[in-house]
Amino acid sequence: MLALAFLNPLLLVALPLCAIPIVIHLLNRRRFRQVPWAAMEYLLAAMKRNRKRLRMEQWLVLLLRTLAVLLLVALVSRPQLSGGALLGSRTHHVVVLDDSASMTQRSGSTQLFERAQDRIRLLVDDLAQRRSGDLLSIVRTSRPLQPDLWGQRVGPDVGRRTAVMLKEMSVGDGSPDLGLVLQATMRRAAEVQDAARTEYYVVGDRRARDWATDDDKPRPALLAALSSMGDEEHLTVFGVGGQPPNLAVVDVRLDDRLAVAAVPTTLSVVVQNFGLDPTTPTSVAVEVDGRSRVVQAVPALLPGERVALPIEHTFHQAGFHRVEASLEATEPYLIDDRRTLALDVRDKSRVLLVDGQPDEREGETFYLQAAMEMVETGIEPQVVTDLALEETDLDPFDFVWLCNVQAPSAATSRRIEQFVAAGGGLGIACGNQVDARRYDELLWRDGQGPLPLPLGDVAGDPDRPESATLVAKDHPICDRVGEVLDLLVGNVLLVKRWLTIEEVPDHEASIVARIHDAEGPPLLVTRTFGDGGEVVLLAVAADRFWSNLPSTDLFVVLVNQIHRFGARRRDLSGQNLTPDGSYRLELDPGTHRADVTVRALVEAGDERTFTAVAAQPDAADGAESAAGTQRLTLTIPMAELRQLGAYEVDLTRHDGGPDTRLFARNPPIAESRLLGLTDAAFARLYPPEVQPHVDFVGADSGLGAAGGEGELWQLLAAALLFGLLAESLLAWRFGRR
């Protein structure tokens, strides 16, 4: 269907002006009184012979003058031809609406999302007036594979239907990738055969984060999408404002490697300034389980600066707890002013002590066990012999101590290495039974194993004990007690014998203490191995035969500091999620039913039911329960939940007993970066061959690049110019004759 519309239809009222040349012509034909005279007789005779030719010349000039006025009126009215399959000008208009979390910014009394909806309404109304017969599609960035409208023919009622649809939409809290959204939309649009060209529109807050990476390079997916555009494709980006100053809570984290009941736990609230100007001092409130409340002062922060505010809290009960931090609300963008940590507090931290020389009175692990069994440590030690180690499962433990163990077998060494590589802690206390060569062969392996440094021969003279020196007071083992450890190590500790630890240049091991002085043999060495696993190597034994360490107050402090430093860090990411993640939980059908109730703690009455499904059995990881039945896998997609904050998961046990888990749903940090993309930044980031395909339109500008699509003003202007020149030339030519 070929349609003709006018961008300035009110100017068509000037069409009657086309009659002016005709009126002038008629007035000039008014009859006058004839006065015959002799010379006129010859002139009249000549004119009668050429009357037909003269009349054609007059009508031609009159036609050109009338046409000139008509073209002038049409030119200022801006006619536009659209939807014509005959001319191949039908266009598919694809609108991508940004409904990410950053669109909750407030501009005056409205959200940016509401301004984006208004912009789309104006665009659709404009298309209905001048692009009848074209195609219209609307896609939200949160659901690119599920368009809200696709391939709708533009007609008189499209504006009303679109307005109803937009009114039912709500802004989300996710952080989609604009490039991936465009790629998915372009693949779908390429399948539409009814349009000769495609015009894409992105309506959002035009954030730099959507267009550039953190290292100031173009987004790969977006660059690929723009580079794949053909000659008949174009993108118009409508910015709807935003980008205010923004101070955000970017993390509530557990600083300790694990949280244990009745033991002081250190947490941190991390606050960052994402704006371009310094912030003013404010405060952040921290609540634990909605009851205990602590207010911390947040200092003024420079642009891009972040600060970690430490919080110490003692959880008196094991189980799940929620820690919520919220800033004083003073900004137009509030979604990132609050963050929640779902924390699993352990009853005890289990440690495996491997005694290489058991003794009924004072074995190798006697003093270690005594230091750990103090009530306030929160550590639960379990002692086994080196032979029993072969059959002991290491997964339940956070830390393993090898005390004067001759050498673990090859199979056990592999299990220990896997345990450390997965984040577990390993302590090695030397002694007279240690086979240094086997340790080097199995656990050092030229630096590829977990052993911090290779071992050598026994050194020292029991009759001439040596002192010790703390050489790395800034090491994490010395955290908060560096001065105390320095005093005790230098004034209390006496070393009689030790196992030589060979130093390897350019190796990542850290030497915390040395024997005699700062240049002496290593006494305490650490190394990080694998996925955060920590290994501690002590050159002396854990008993009193090689040093007086177990008999001093230093020993209790040092043992607990080593445990805080090296105990297995529990991964909290599975229960602290963003809107694009999923909460997963394995259930035993012999214990739990499949239906699970999920309840938001931030809004009363917000409950949903999810059902766990049978997992595929996997013999490698024991996918079947003890009863031989398949496990159930519970999956809760965060995209299906709408609230931010903590959620309780109520599991239904067959025996009726309570079983509640906790997870937190937090805004993505990427949505806190509100700074906008400038035209200069786009020109700098993206290659020249891509830039002609993209136009940026500001919040207060017109409808942008598509406004001139299908217009005929160039053709009309050329016709008007040609008509005026032809009229002038013919009038001059006919006048001379």
| pLDDT higher than threshold 90 for residue 725 | no
| Residues recorded for the chain | 737
pLDDT tens for 384-443 read 999 999 999 999 999 999 999 999 999 999 999 999 999 999 999 999 999 999 999 999
Q: Which residue has the higher pLDDT, 71 or 259?
A: 259
Categorize the per-residue pLDDT at 329 as very low, low, confident or very high, splitting at 50, 70 and 90. confident
| pLDDT higher than threshold 70 for residue 45 | no
CATH number of 573-665: 2.60.40
Categorize the per-residue pLDDT at 32 as very low, low, confident or very high, splitting at 50, 70 and 90. low
CATH 3.40.50.880 residue window(s) in the chain? 349-566
- Report phi then psi at 723, rounded to 5: -65, -40
pLDDT for res 322: 95
Averaged pLDDT, 643-665: 91
- Report phi then psi at 259, rounded to 5: -110, 130
pLDDT for res 56: 75
pTM for the structure as a whole? 0.80
| pLDDT higher than threshold 90 for residue 338 | yes
3-class secondary structure for 527-572?
Answer: EEECCCEEEEEECCCCCCCCECHHHCHHHHHHHHHHHHHHCCCCCC
**C-beta separation of 89 from 81 below 8 A:** yes
Q: Which residue has the higher pLDDT, 544 or 736?
A: 544
Distance CA 485, CA 483 (A): 6
Q: Which residue has the higher pLDDT, 645 or 47?
A: 645
Distance CA 642, CA 667 (A): 11
3-class secondary structure for 613-656?
Answer: EECCCCCCCCCECCCCCECEEEEEEHHHCCCCEEEEEEEEECCC
pLDDT for res 292: 82
CATH 2.60.40.10 residue window(s) in the chain? 247-346
Distance CA 645, CA 335 (A): 11
pLDDT for res 432: 92
- What mean pLDDT is reported for the chain? 87
3-state secondary structure of 684: helix
pLDDT for res 33: 58
Averaged pLDDT, 141-167: 93
**C-beta separation of 323 from 253 below 8 A:** no
| pLDDT higher than threshold 50 for residue 521 | yes
Q: 13-22, 405-414, 450-459, 671-680 — which is least confidently predicted? A: 13-22
Query: DSSP character for 677?
Result: P
pLDDT for res 86: 42
pLDDT for res 58: 72
Query: DSSP character for 504?
Result: -
Distance CA 344, CA 322 (A): 9
Angle at which helix 713-736 crosses helix 38-77, to 10 degrees, equals: 170
**Fold of the 349-566 domain:** Rossmann fold (3.40.50)
Q: Residue 499's closest CA among 441, 455, 544? A: 455
CATH 3.40.50.1950, domain 247-346, yes or no: no
Averaged pLDDT, 177-191: 95
518 CB neighbour count, 10 Å cutoff: 10
pLDDT for res 87: 44
Distance CA 690, CA 226 (A): 6
CATH 3.40.50.410, domain 91-243+674-710, yes or no: yes
| pLDDT higher than threshold 90 for residue 274 | yes
Averaged pLDDT, 618-647: 74
Q: Residue 297's closest CA among 308, 310, 287, 284? A: 284
224 CB neighbour count, 10 Å cutoff: 14
**Percentages (nearest 5) of helix, strand, coil residues in the chain:** 30, 30, 40
pLDDT tens for 562-616 read 999 999 988 899 999 999 999 999 998 889 999 999 999 987 667 899 999 986 6
Beta-sheet strands, E only, within 277-405 = 282-288, 292-298, 306-314, 319-327, 338-345, 349-355, 379-385, 399-403
| pLDDT higher than threshold 90 for residue 168 | yes
